[in-house]
Amino acid sequence: MLFRQLEYFVALAHERHFARAASACYVSQPALSEAIRKLEQELDVPLVRRGRKFEGLTPEGERLVHWARRILADRDALKQEAAALQTGLTGELRVGVVPAASTTVALLTDPFCATHPLVRVRLEMNLRSAGIVERVRRFELDAGVLYPDQQDTDELVVTPLYQERPVLIAGTELLTGRSGTITWSEAIELPLCLLTPGMRGRRLIDDALAGQGRTVTPQLETDSLVTLLAHVRTGRWASIVPQPWLETLGTPAGVAVLPLDQPPVRALIALVTNKAEPGSPVTRALIRAAHDAGIHEALDGV
């Protein structure tokens, strides 16, 4: 059995198409097909359902592709471990990040990069928590920064980073005469722009309102926190965003921030990594960085 055969098998499982898998592996389609046939012969089980085109993996293939991903991940970890003994930690770190942590992730990755300057870090932004969990489980990502609640994290190591709370932001003229806190009922009377339904940050808002028998239908919705801030800066809009996001970017001039109360809302942001032992040295170093970074304290105990 060759690593190359496993790489082709994993690529085919990911691409679900022979030609695209061959292109991803920089080989011809016949070469990829022949390598997978030889792997099937060696394992003595069919891995791929074949017709005039790719028709999916067999039940055996669906079970064994997880082992193929694990073997390739362990191979890469072995190379990283050996390189670390000679030159220090090297390699690539792939991290998936939910939109709400798009700025706070710097509190983790910046000190990590400073400690390990030979490691290349690739951040994939604007992902959903469920998608990140699945890709970490399949070794397609080394780690994720996400909302762990409502996710199946049995096969993952969960390292808490900080607690997030939503706050109202608005042009100061929209909040004339207001100070202290604002209730959710009062907030939805303002001209709101919010995250799109289905995003975890939006579900926090909808769940808080549902507990009071209220709903909200904003005129403008987007999947970008930066877009929300841009609209609020015009002075005509209000929005509800994660408070730690403002801690890292700062509050723009002309924008006021009010904590939301009645009820208060909290959500955990955590680092997740694959529980497989011993794990790659790069991933282990990221977990250590998460413990050492003190992100919770840096965000004023949010």
Residue boundaries of the structural domains of the chain: 1-65, 87-161+265-299, 165-257
Asked whether the predicted pLDDT for residue 229 surpasses 70, the reply is yes
Q: 1-65 maps to which CATH number?
A: 1.10.10.10
Q: Both tokens of residue 45?
A: 């089980």
- Per-residue pLDDT tens over the stretch 237-262: 999 998 888 888 888 888 999 998 87
Percent share of the chain, pLDDT over 70: 98
- For 50-90, how does the pLDDT look when each residue is reduced to its tens digit (9 = 90+)? 877 788 898 888 888 888 988 888 888 888 778 776 677 88
Whether the predicted pLDDT of 301 surpasses 50: no
The residue assigned the tokens 């780690």 is 143
Residue 278: cis peptide before it, omega within 30 degrees of 0? yes
Chain CA centroid to CA 277, Å: 22
For position 137, what pLDDT does the model report?
92
- Token pair in block for residue 149: 């609640």
Q: Specify the CATH number of the domain 87-161+265-299.
A: 3.40.190.10
Q: 289: which DSSP letter? A: H
Dist CA 151 CA 159 (whole Å): 14
Nearest to 108 by CA among 30, 42, 161, 177: 161
**Taking the CA atoms of the chain, what radius of gyration do you get in angstroms?**
23
Per-residue pLDDT of 113-147, as tens digits, reads: 999 999 999 999 989 999 999 999 999 999 999 99
Q: Give the percent of the chain with pLDDT over 90.
A: 46
- Cβ(151)–Cβ(133) below 8 Å: yes
Matching CATH topology for 1-65 and 165-257?
A: no
Do residues 194 and 228 touch, judged by C-beta distance below 8 A? yes
* Number of other residues whose CB lies within 10 A of the CB of residue 78: 13
Which range, of 77-81, 166-170, 218-222, averages the lowest pLDDT?
77-81
Q: Kindly report the pTM of this predicted structure.
A: 0.75
Q: Which token pair is 47?
A: 């891995």
What is the Cα–Cα distance from 122 to 99, expressed in whole angstroms?
15
Q: Which CATH superfamily is domain 165-257 in?
A: Periplasmic binding protein-like II (3.40.190.10)
Q: Which two tokens stand for residue 237?
A: 């809009």
What pLDDT shows up at residue 302? 44
Say yes or no to pLDDT of 177 above 80.
Answer: no
